[in-house]
């Protein structure tokens, strides 16, 4: 693979910086060391690293082309910008670190390769050692990064005492060139700026160590970073403004701390979306933004950028920030589809507004600049519904497929579709990670307990298991999983929560000829809601089943009525699927 080579036993990515850009970037070569030995992992990581390097070079080219004769910024402003830049890099590195789920999936993949014989001692110890070494590197990535930062911090402190600026030389060269500052290596200006950058980086590293302990609210103490801001014409940072005060990342940390205080809970999925919303906005602003510096125009510009942002840009353009991904997508002959307005409104703008509203309520800025900013999607009265239920003929086509002919052979895909149809849960996150311990009888009625449903408190609910699922053999399937000591109802789906959705939308529905933008995996939820109404189930009872109304779960343990009423209402729905006829015929044949 181009730019990837092995140097003294270590895999390295190297990209040479064009000569005319070296004074801006500050180095002759962009290098990332320590890639894993596993070819598949190494190449996947290298793609993102190389993309990031080339995006950095492209930005330097644009900077070279647009250099002006602006006055040199104040030393304090440069230090503040450097401080924020280092914290922004830290935030991006943390978001790229392997999560426990990713590590668990990699461990499972290694064991599957061992089971298949792809990794075997008969082929020598090297493949086994390499695979396990890469896994251990993933497990220790955060600790390793923390140790490197501590060593860097110690070295900077020693260098500061000795007035030795070589540790920040690349940043010095970049700034002196980009800002057209006077004075070369060894000059008073050079040393003064170098010492200022070192003081800023020391403060930034101290914040990252606080982050390791879960504290994102720390503020700099160095007078260089706390002195009053310079005039706007001299300031630096996004759109020429100086930077200080609680950052957006700091506001998020404090917001989450408050929302989870005293045993309160905030769904893990929602918290992750909040983090992504902050990361995306900071990428757009090119720094971890102080909340009081965010203007309404910034948010409007961000909204317009989101309209041009390719869907799943971190996967399609690994290693690129949001602005870089927009540029890269525009250069494609056939650009990827961009984010849907509904997604922009309900996720990225909504989450950003929630965090900024907390910051406003707590005195970190005057007003919420994101309040009311949304993509105009027109009147709901005149809009077509986003998703439609499956018709009777479409249900017969889906569940009349040969893969449903023998219930005794059903696996993840078959049971997943049936469970989604008969429960009407919102999405894969509500069912993919369903623990077997959350399937039990409540007052004699088999139920799913959706304890991990993420939208709101009402979503955490009991859903009775439909009689049809029991007739087809769902509880036998559950029993077999328990005998195998499995943890989840759908072990494969739990490891990758979009696995069944992707297969159903992009393979199965396409194969049977009914895939449209309005007929997708989510249509199962609309299908059950429609059939509950047709069966005459009261609206409030239907809303309790779907999670649109509270079930008053505490009363379930005192009075039988809520769970019994839901079961009675749910069992009024009769889909009359072809598989039920197959099942009844087989039962009759067995009895005869």
Residue 32 DSSP class: E
pLDDT tens track, the chain, 592 positions: 788 888 888 888 898 988 877 766 767 888 888 888 888 888 888 888 888 888 888 877 776 776 554 444 567 888 888 898 888 888 877 877 777 877 887 788 877 778 777 777 666 667 667 767 777 777 888 888 889 999 999 999 999 998 899 999 888 877 766 555 545 677 777 788 889 999 999 999 999 999 888 888 888 888 888 876 544 333 334 444 444 578 899 999 999 988 888 766 677 778 889 999 999 999 999 888 889 889 999 999 999 999 999 998 988 888 888 999 999 999 999 999 999 998 999 999 999 999 999 999 988 888 899 999 999 877 554 455 578 899 999 999 999 999 998 888 999 999 999 999 999 887 677 788 889 999 999 888 999 988 764 444 445 678 999 999 999 999 999 999 999 999 999 998 888 877 898 899 989 999 999 888 889 998 999 999 999 999 998 888 888 887 755 554 434 433 445 788 889 999 999 998 888 765 555 554 443 4
- How do strand 462-464 and strand 10-16 relate by DSSP bridges? unpaired
Q: Are 239 and 284 in contact (CB under 8 A)?
A: no
**Tokens representing residue 196 in the block:** 């200022």
Rounded to a whole number of angstroms, the distance between the first and last alpha carbons of the chain is 65
DSSP-based three-state secondary structure for 318? coil
Task: Give residue 303's Cα distance to chain centre.
Answer: 19
Cα separation values, 6 from 35, 37, 145, 333, Å: 9, 10, 22, 34
On the 0-12 / 13-18 / 19+ scale of CB atoms within 10 A, 130 is: middle
Measured from the Cβ of residue 47, the count of other Cβ atoms closer than 10 Å reads: 16
Residue 387 DSSP class: -
Q: Are 134 and 36 in contact (CB under 8 A)?
A: yes
The DSSP annotation for 340-382 comes to PHHHIIIIIIHHHHHHHHHHHHTTSSSS-TTTT-------GGG
Q: Are 149 and 209 in contact (CB under 8 A)?
A: yes
Beta-ladder partners of 464: 447
Alpha helices, H only, 166-318: 169-178, 188-212, 223-226, 248-259, 268-285, 296-306, 313-316
Q: Are 316 and 344 in contact (CB under 8 A)?
A: no
* Per-residue pLDDT at 557: 38
Cα gap 416→421, rounded to integer Å: 9
Cα separation values, 346 from 71, 302, 349, Å: 42, 15, 7
Any residues with CB less than 8 A from the CB of 582 and at least 6 apart, and which?
404, 405, 406, 407
Q: Are 455 and 400 in contact (CB under 8 A)?
A: no
**Tokens representing residue 48 in the block:** 């993102």
* Per-residue pLDDT at 556: 42
Q: Are 445 and 464 in contact (CB under 8 A)?
A: yes
Q: Evaluate the CA torsion angle 240, 246, 250, 255 in order and state its sign.
A: negative
* Per-residue pLDDT at 66: 61
Q: What phi, psi does 454 have (nearest 5°)?
A: -110, -15
Any residues with CB less than 8 A from the CB of 181 and at least 6 apart, and which?
72, 175, 189, 193
Cα gap 497→559, rounded to integer Å: 35
546: left (phi over 0), alpha (psi -120 to 50) or beta: alpha
Which residue, among 573, 577, 574, 520, has the nearest Cα to 396 in the 3D structure?
577
Measured from the Cβ of residue 129, the count of other Cβ atoms closer than 10 Å reads: 11
* Per-residue pLDDT at 76: 83
Which residue, among 92, 90, 8, 106, has the nearest Cα to 48 in the 3D structure?
92
Any residues with CB less than 8 A from the CB of 16 and at least 6 apart, and which?
28, 29
Which residue, among 500, 492, 429, has the nearest Cα to 460 in the 3D structure?
429
Sheet (strand 10-16) strand order: 4-7, 10-16, 29-35
* Per-residue pLDDT at 411: 92
């Amino acid at each position: 693979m181009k730019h990837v080579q092995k140097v003294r036993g270590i895999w390295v990515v190297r990209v040479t910086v064009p000569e005319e850009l070296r004074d801006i970037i500050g180095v002759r070569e962009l290098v990332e060391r320590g890639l894993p030995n596993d070819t598949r992992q190494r190449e996947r990581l290298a793609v993102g690293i190389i993309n990031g390097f080339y995006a950095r070079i492209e930005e330097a080219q644009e900077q070279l082309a647009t250099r002006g004769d602006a006055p040199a910024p104040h030393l304090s402003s440069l230090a503040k910008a450097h401080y924020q830049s280092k914290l922004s890099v830290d935030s991006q590195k943390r978001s790229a670190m392997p999560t426990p789920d990713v590590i668990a999936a990699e461990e499972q993949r290694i064991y599957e390769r061992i089971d298949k014989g792809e990794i075997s001692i008969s082929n020598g110890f090297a493949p086994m050692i390499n695979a396990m070494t890469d896994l251990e590197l993933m497990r220790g990535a955060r600790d390793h990064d923390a140790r490197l930062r501590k060593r860097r911090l110690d070295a900077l402190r020693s260098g500061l005492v000795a007035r030795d600026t070589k540790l920040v030389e690349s940043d010095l060269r970049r700034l002196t060139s980009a800002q057209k500052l006077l004075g070369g290596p060894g000059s008073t200006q050079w040393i003064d700026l170098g010492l200022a950058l070192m003081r800023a980086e020391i403060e930034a590293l101290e914040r990252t160590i606080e982050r390791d302990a879960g504290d994102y609210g720390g503020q700099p103490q160095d007078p260089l970073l706390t002195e009053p801001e310079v005039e706007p014409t001299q300031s630096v940072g996004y759109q020429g403004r100086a930077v200080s005060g609680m950052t957006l990342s700091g506001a998020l940390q404090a917001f989450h701390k408050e929302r989870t205080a005293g045993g309160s809970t905030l769904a893990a999925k929602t918290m992750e979306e909040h983090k992504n919303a902050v990361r995306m906005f900071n990428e757009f602003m090119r720094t971890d933004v102080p909340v009081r510096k965010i203007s309404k125009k910034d948010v409007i510009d961000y909204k317009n950028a989101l309209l041009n942002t390719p869907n799943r840009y971190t996967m399609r353009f690994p290693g690129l920030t949001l602005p870089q991904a927009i540029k890269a997508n525009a250069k494609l002959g056939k650009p990827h589809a961009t984010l849907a307005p509904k997604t922009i409104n309900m996720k990225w703008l909504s989450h950003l507004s929630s965090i900024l509203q907390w910051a406003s309520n707590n005195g970190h800025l005057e007003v919420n600049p994101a309040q009311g900013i949304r993509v105009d999607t027109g009147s709901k009265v005149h809009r077509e519904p986003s998703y439609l239920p499956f018709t009777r003929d479409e249900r017969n086509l889906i569940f009349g497929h040969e893969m449903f002919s023998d219930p005794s052979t059903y696996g993840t895909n078959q049971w997943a579709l049936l469970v989604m149809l008969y429960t009407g849960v919102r999405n894969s996150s509500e069912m993919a990670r369903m623990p077997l311990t959350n399937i039990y009888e409540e007052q004699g009625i088999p139920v799913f307990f959706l304890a991990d449903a993420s939208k709101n408190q009402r979503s955490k609910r009991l859903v009775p298991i439909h009689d049809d699922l029991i007739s087809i053999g769902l509880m036998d399937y559950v029993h077999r999983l328990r005998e195998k000591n499995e943890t989840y109802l759908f072990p494969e789906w739990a490891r990758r929560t979009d696995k069944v959705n992707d297969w159903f939308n992009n393979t199965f529905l396409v194969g049977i000829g009914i895939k449209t933008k309005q007929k997708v995996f989510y249509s199962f939820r609309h299908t059950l809601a429609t059939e509950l109404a047709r069966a005459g189930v009261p609206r409030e009872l239907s809303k309790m089943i779907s999670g649109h109304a509270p079930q008053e779960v505490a009363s379930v343990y005192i009075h039988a009525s809520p769970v019994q009423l839901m079961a009675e209402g749910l069992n009024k729905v009769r889909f009359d699927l072809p598989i039920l006829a197959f099942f009844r015929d087989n039962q009759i044949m067995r009895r005869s």
